[in-house]
Amino acid sequence: MPKKLSCKIETRTKENKLRSLSLSNNLVDFSSNDYLGFAKNETLFSKIFQLVLRENISQNGATGSRLISGNHKLYSVLEDLLANFHQTEAALVFNSGYDANIGFFSAVPQRGDFVFYDELIHASIRDGISMGHAKGYNYRHNDLEDLKRVLTSLKIDTSIKGNTEVYVVTESVFSMDGNTPDLIAFAQFCKGNGFHLVVDEAHALGVLGNNGEGLVQELGLQASIFARIITFGKAMGVHGAAILGGVELMQYLLNFARSFIYSTGLSPHAVASILASYEFLNADGREERIQLTERLVYFREQIRKFKLEPYFIPSRSAIQSCVLPGVDKVKSISDKLKDDGFYVKPILAPTVTAGQERLRFCLHSYNSKEEIGLVLKLLSGYL
């Protein structure tokens, strides 16, 4: 083992930040991204199996990348469904949200272009930008005025046309804070200046919108967004991701996004599971969405009841973050809650900024009001 690498592990250990894998447990779940309980839903499991049988799928793997031999028939069915459901021209399915983001941001912004991203943007987007040739700059979290300030300080002429393009990137629900930007204001600003707005909807899909379409469609902004990234491993309970946008953009990604070109495709069963999950969302899954909304309202009521508002970041999403600065402190409280039967994950640097350590409560349709009330009562006693 190279000494440089060993030293980095030792440093993490000394700082009490060393990551490790753990098996699933029988604790009350306030940590997973399975917001609607789809991942463990037996009815959905059965519907996936029925779809596989109905489509006469007997192939275990994709056999190659989609450009070689892995583009089986269910892909076109799924991408047509996604385009229709999300009211966009086209969709292109990727193997994961990480693949979609590094594929998009490493291939779309070109040399001479500019990418402006929220300072709390997901790591996969940062990685994609760093792999590309455009210049990237961050702006303060959810702060449109700071974006304008950064543009002014860099003397970027908003009337520039020709070979220079400007991309503005945000998330509809931020994964560690659970809050949302003023997407209407961002969309209006970008449209007025000829910029391309890109929105990652990973944690909004299935949770926000009249039918779980996400925040962009809830606000009626789908025609104003250059590209949306959606993932199926969270509220949809399965696996994979897609980019939504224009037909020409999908053609470009198919030709230049390396994470798409050089990856073996999803198996037919995996694609069938996404199709079944969307069907379930629009039928049986409506009850889960209603229950989740009720649990969110109740959670915020209990925060007020136990006078915990100063600790929690305001959020209308399924992610409710309790900021408790200090690695030892937040891990200690997480361990105490675990001993009480509740699994609430502590989030540490470098995932969040040092001094912004937190307990990240992920709410689900299957969390009872009794569980919510008790875990917050216990938390208030440990602070």
pLDDT at 27: 95
The rounded Cα 103 to chain-centroid distance in angstroms is: 16
Tell me the backbone φ, ψ of residue 36, rounded to 5 degrees: -100, 0
Q: Which CATH architecture has domain 55-281?
A: 3-Layer(aba) Sandwich (3.40)
pLDDT at 163: 79
In 3D space, the residue among 315, 299, 115 whose CA is nearest the CA of residue 197 turns out to be 115
Tokens of 199: 């929105």
Specify the pTM. 0.94
Residues 6+ apart with CB under 8 A from 129: 105, 106, 109, 115, 117, 136
SS3 126: helix
pLDDT at 162: 61
CB atoms within 10 A of CB 20: 4
pLDDT at 157: 64
pLDDT in tens, 99-117: 999 999 999 999 999 999 9
Query: Are residues 317 and 203 in contact, defined by beta-carbon separation less than 8 angstroms?
Result: yes
Beta pairing, strands 358-362 & 241-245: unpaired
The rounded Cα 173 to chain-centroid distance in angstroms is: 7
DSSP β-bridge partners for residue 227: 198, 245
Q: Rounded to whole angstroms, how far apart are CA atoms 273 and 62?
A: 14
Give the homologous superfamily in CATH for domain 25-41+285-382.
Aspartate Aminotransferase, domain 1 (3.90.1150.10)
In 3D space, the residue among 206, 228, 226 whose CA is nearest the CA of residue 274 turns out to be 206
How many alpha carbons lie under 13 Å from residue 211 in its C-beta half-sphere?
12
Q: Rounded to whole angstroms, how far apart are CA atoms 117 and 99?
A: 18
Q: Rounded to whole angstroms, how far apart are CA atoms 229 and 214?
A: 11
The rounded Cα 295 to chain-centroid distance in angstroms is: 20
pLDDT in tens, 115-174: 999 999 999 999 999 999 999 999 999 999 999 999 999 877 655 556 789 999 999 999
pLDDT at 156: 72
Which residue is associated with the tokens 């046309």?
A: 161
Beta pairing, strands 358-362 & 319-323: antiparallel
Q: Rounded to whole angstroms, how far apart are CA atoms 193 and 191?
A: 5
Reported residue count of the chain is 383
Tokens of 284: 């049986």
- The CATH 3.40.640.10 portion of the chain extends over 55-281
pLDDT in tens, 203-248: 999 999 999 999 999 999 999 999 999 999 999 999 999 999 999 9
pLDDT at 158: 53
Query: Are residues 107 and 251 in contact, defined by beta-carbon separation less than 8 angstroms?
Result: no
In 3D space, the residue among 366, 219, 224 whose CA is nearest the CA of residue 290 turns out to be 366
Task: For residues 289-298, give the mean pLDDT.
Answer: 96
- The residue type at 258: R
Task: For residues 171-184, give the mean pLDDT.
Answer: 96
pLDDT at 284: 85
Tokens of 266: 């999803």
Residues 6+ apart with CB under 8 A from 219: 183, 184
Task: For residues 18-28, give the mean pLDDT.
Answer: 86
Give the chain's mean pLDDT. Answer: 95
- DSSP H helices, the chain, are 3-14, 42-54, 74-85, 97-107, 123-131, 144-153, 183-193, 215-218, 247-256, 258-261, 268-281, 286-305, 327-339, 369-382
- Look at the alpha carbons of 98, 235, 181, 89 in this order and tell me if their dihedral is positive or negative: positive
- The CATH 3.90.1150.10 portion of the chain extends over 25-41+285-382
pLDDT at 159: 56
